[in-house]
Structure 1
Amino acid sequence: MPPKKPPVTKAPARAPVKSTPAKGTPAKVTPGKKVSGAPATGAKKPGAAPSKGNVPTKPKEKVWTKQDDAARTIQTKYRQFRAKKILEKKKKEKMDYEELMNKLEHEAFLKLVQMEQEQAEKDRKKEEGERRRRAEEIKRKKRMLEAAFDGDNEEILQILKEVKELDDKNNIGNDVIGKNLRDRHLLAMVECEDANENTPISEAANGGNADTIKLLLDRGANPNTQGQFKRTPLYRSAFAGHLEACQMLLQNGADPRIYASDGQNPEQVASLAAVIQLLKEWDISQTEVLLEKLETEKEKRLEEVKQRRAAEESILEKQVEITQQEYDVMQKQLNHAYCELEKRISEHDNAVAEGFNRPEILVQAIQDAETEVEILKMNTEKSRDKLSQAKLKLREQQKGGDDGEDPDDLPGLKVLVKELDDVLFRDVGNKIKDSGKWPLIIDRTGQAATFLRYRDTNCVNALSPKQMEDDKVRLSLLGAVRFGKPFILDMMEVDMFDTVSDRFDNILKGLMGLIMDKSIMQEENYLKIVKESDGPDYQKNKFNDYRTSSFKFFIITKNPYPPDNLMDNTYPIRIYVPTAR
Structure 2
Amino acid sequence: MQSKRTSTNPSGSSRSNSTTNKSVKTIQSNHSTNLSKNATPASKNAAAAKVCSPTKQQQAKNTKVISPSKASSKTEIAHFIASKENNSQKQKTKETVAKPTEKDLAAIKIQTTVRRFLGKKTLEKRRKEKQEYEQKMEELDKQAFLYLCRLEQEKAEKQQAKEQEEKRRKQEETKRKKRFLEAAFDGNVVSMKQILKEVSDIDDKNGLGNDVIGRSLRTKHLMAIIECTDANENTALSEAANGGHAEAIKLLLENGADPNTIGQFRRTPLYRAAFAGHLEATYMLLENGADPRILGGDSQSPAEVASVQAVKEVLENWKIETTETLLKQIETAKEKILNEDKQRREAETMKLEEFVNELETEYKVKQKKLEFAYCELNKRIHEHDVCMSEGFDKPELTESAIHDQEFEVENAKLELESAREQLAKARLALRESSKTVDEETEEELPGLKVVIKELDDVLFRDVGNRIKDSGKWPCVIDINGQAGTFLRYRDTNYVCSLRPADMEVNNIRLSLLGAIRFGKPFVLDMMEVDMFETCVDIFDKVMKGLMNSIMDKTIVNEDKYKTLIKSTDGPEYELTKFNEIRTSKFMFILLTKNPTPSEKLMQLMYLIRVVVPI
TM-score (norm 1): 0.76
Q: 1:492 to 1:538 in 2, by over 3 A?
A: same
Displacement of 1:405 in angstroms is 7.0
Q: Deviations over 1:482-502 (max 9, x none)?
A: 444433222122110011111
Q: 1:8 to 1:416 in 2, by over 3 A?
A: closer
Contact 1:151 1:209 in 2 (8 A): yes
Displacement of 1:524 in angstroms is 2.8
Q: 1:92 to 1:236 in 2, by over 3 A?
A: same
Residue 357 of structure 2: aligned partner = 321
- For 1:107 and 1:188, the matched residues in 2 are separated by 50
Displacement of 1:119 in angstroms is 4.4
Residue 58 of structure 1: aligned partner = none
Q: 1:444 to 1:300 in 2, by over 3 A?
A: same
SS across alignment from 2:321: helix
Contact 2:452 2:610 in 1 (8 A): yes
Q: 1:277 to 1:143 in 2, by over 3 A?
A: same
**1:18-417 residue pairs with structure 2 within 5 A?**
66=97, 118-168=154-204, 170-400=206-436, 409-417=444-452
Q: 1:554 to 1:174 in 2, by over 3 A?
A: farther
- For 1:482 and 1:109, the matched residues in 2 are separated by 47
Q: Deviations over 1:333-364 (max 9, x none)?
A: 22111211221222222222222222222222
- For 2:421 and 2:532, the matched residues in 1 are separated by 21
CA RMSD of aligned residues (A): 4.1
- Given candidates 526, 531, 540, the residue that maps to 1:491 is 526
SS across alignment from 1:556: strand
Q: Deviations over 1:117-142 (max 9, x none)?
A: 55455444444444444444333333
- Given candidates 557, 561, 569, the residue that maps to 1:526 is 561
TM-score (norm 2): 0.72
Indicate the larger mover: 320-329 or 279-288.
320-329
Q: Deviations over 1:232-272 (max 9, x none)?
A: 22223223333222222111111111233443322223233
Identity across aligned pairs (percent)?
A: 57
Q: 1:92 to 1:463 in 2, by over 3 A?
A: farther
- For 2:162 and 2:440, the matched residues in 1 are separated by 13
Q: Which runs of 5+ in 2 are unaligned?
A: 1-27, 36-89
Q: Deviations over 1:438-492 (max 9, x none)?
A: 2333333334334444544433222122332333333333343344443322212
1:465 equivalent in alignment to 2:500: yes
Displacement of 1:402 in angstroms is 12
- For 1:509 and 1:557, the matched residues in 2 are separated by 24
Query: Which one has the bigger helix percentage?
Result: 2
Q: 1:534 to 1:11 in 2, by over 3 A?
A: same
Q: 1:108 to 1:506 in 2, by over 3 A?
A: farther
Residue 30 of structure 1: aligned partner = none
Contact 1:417 1:447 in 2 (8 A): yes
- For 1:516 and 1:159, the matched residues in 2 are separated by 61
Residue 595 of structure 2: aligned partner = 560
Q: Which amino acid aligns with 1:368?
A: D
- For 1:424 and 1:121, the matched residues in 2 are separated by 38
Q: Deviations over 1:426-447 (max 9, x none)?
A: 4444443333222333333334
- For 2:170 and 2:551, the matched residues in 1 are separated by 46
Contact 1:392 1:405 in 2 (8 A): no
Displacement of 1:107 in angstroms is 7.3
- For 1:388 and 1:143, the matched residues in 2 are separated by 40
Displacement of 1:292 in angstroms is 1.7
How many residues were matched structurally?
517
SS across alignment from 2:524: strand
Contact 1:396 1:402 in 2 (8 A): no
Contact 2:265 2:297 in 1 (8 A): yes
Residue 42 of structure 2: aligned partner = none
1:511 equivalent in alignment to 2:512: no
Residue 545 of structure 1: aligned partner = 580
Q: Deviations over 1:400-430 (max 9, x none)?
A: 5599875x53443444444434443344444
SS across alignment from 2:237: helix
